[in-house]
């Protein structure tokens, strides 16, 4: 029996080469890896919860103010 094509996942395939969990994730979000995205701010040393574009709320606002 084939197993899920996602790395580190050896559950049996349900559809599109993905196991049931990854297939549902793909169907819902269009990306089977979506929940592997870090849900924390990507600013170094910041552990606040993710708000938008990979940043927490204060860091996101700060980033938006900055005009590259």
Residues forming the site for Zn ion (CB under 5 A)? 4, 6, 9, 11, 19, 22, 41, 43, 46, 48, 56, 59
Write down the least CB distance from residue 67 to Zn ion, Å.
19
The Cα–Cα gap between 42 and 53 comes to 9
Q: Closer to Zn ion by CB, 14 or 67: give it.
A: 14
* Residue spans of alpha helices (H) in the chain: 20-29, 57-65
Q: Closer to Zn ion by CB, 8 or 68: give it.
A: 8
Write down the least CB distance from residue 56 to Zn ion, Å.
3
- Token pair recorded at residue 2: 């084939």
The Cα–Cα gap between 57 and 23 comes to 31
């Amino acid at each position: 029996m084939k197993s899920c094509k996602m790395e580190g996942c050896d559950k049996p395939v349900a559809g599109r080469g993905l196991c049931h969990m990854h297939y549902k994730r793909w169907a819902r979000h269009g990306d089977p890896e979506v929940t592997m995205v870090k849900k924390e701010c990507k600013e170094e040393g910041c552990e606040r919860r993710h708000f938008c574009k990979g940043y927490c709320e204060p860091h996101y606002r700060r980033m938006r103010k900055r005009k590259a």
